Amino acid sequence: MGYRDVMRALCVVGVMTGGMAMAEPKAPGEGLTKRPLPPATWADGPSVAERAALDAWLAGLATEARVRLPVAITRGPLGGVQRATLYGTAKGDDPGVRLSLDDSRMGIALTTHLRDLCGEGSTCALWIDGRWRPEPVMPSLTVDAGTPVAVRRVGPVVDPAKPARPARAAPPGAKGPAKPK
């Protein structure tokens, strides 16, 4: 059976089956994987200086909880993220709260934001919005990389003169101390 015979057979099959089925039209935005984050009301957590309270607060966060975290990032020689920790938690021999940042859900890579906001320095501290312990898209190839955070938005550089307090998005209808974004 030659090339023409195969092509003729495919055409016959296409005619007999009515051709390829057309996909139903989708509503605008339906099926997109990268969607903007909705506005949130933020409930502050404990200061990063209060390590015991901070550890308890982090342990109480639900999987996929939306969080705003001050993150200290050390860049490698090629500009990528070499190490990420919760800002202000690394002291002396204590490595701090280690994080594994996943920027695959962002339209612009985290390394681009680092370069734009932090210049060429090897360390930088930024506010990051994202999801705490998200469901993995694929298994991590890094051993003991830290708690996963799916980065969705990169904020300004952390001001060392102000206390750094991580926050979580308050559930809709929640009452209590929260500040609108």
Q: Is the pLDDT of residue 82 over 50?
A: yes
Question: Which residue is associated with the tokens 């830290």?
Answer: 146
Architecture per CATH, domain 52-163, reads as Beta Barrel (2.40)
pLDDT at 72: 93
pLDDT in tens, 18-63: 555 444 555 555 555 556 667 889 999 999 989 999 999 999 998 8
CA–CA dist 43, 69 (Å, integer): 12
Q: Where are the domains of the chain?
A: 52-163
pLDDT at 79: 78
pLDDT in tens, 131-167: 998 877 665 555 557 889 999 999 899 999 998 999 9
pLDDT at 56: 94
What confidence tier does 71 reach under pLDDT thresholds 50, 70, 90? very high
